[in-house]
Amino acid sequence: MSWLAIGALAVVGIAIPLAMIVVSALLRPAVPESGKKTTYESGEIPTGSGRVQLNIQYYMVALLFVVFDIETVMIFPWAVMYRSALDAGVPLSQAILPMLIFVGILVVGLVWAWRVGAVQWTRSLRAATRKTERQNS
């Protein structure tokens, strides 16, 4: 009987958006305006190319943020359950080792990102000089 309620909810969840799309298609005006065909509907005439090349650093920082944000999401439940797991008799190595391995993998990733310059916005003159000296040696 509970599957019947789930099925009814699924039918309603699909039927309502489909009905809204059909009603919208029937009621909207069929004459497109010239302003609707432009790239932007703001009334401004587009100039130049719409393709803008952004610095890859923005994407790298965003990706690193997502990775370490997920790390926080993964560590928080573990930290909440840590004390109760020890009280329940789980050995310390089984309670802490998986999280240490997880954090260790992330630290290795952060060190790699740091070494390849993914988190470096500008290059200092001193660092560039040292790199040139190492390459010439």
Residue 132 forms part of a structural domain:
no
Q: State pTM to two decimals.
A: 0.47
In whole angstroms, give the CA distance from residue 82 to residue 95. 7
Residue 25 forms part of a structural domain:
no
- Which residues are within 8 A (CB) of 117 and not within 5 positions of it... i.e. 6 or more apart? 123
Q: Radius of gyration (Cα) for the chain, nearest Å?
A: 28
Q: Token pair of 24, please?
A: 């919208």
Tally of structural domains, the chain: 1
Residue 46 forms part of a structural domain:
no
What single DSSP character describes residue 88?
Answer: T
Q: Which residues form the domain of 66?
A: 57-122
Question: Is residue 67 within 8 Å of 73, Cβ to Cβ?
Answer: no
Residue 67 forms part of a structural domain:
yes
Residue 88 forms part of a structural domain:
yes
Each residue's pLDDT expressed in tens, for the chain with a length of 137 residues: 688 989 999 999 999 999 999 999 899 877 777 666 666 656 666 677 767 777 777 788 888 888 888 888 888 888 888 888 888 988 888 888 988 998 899 889 888 888 887 777 666 666 666 666 667 76
Letter for the amino acid at 3? Answer: W
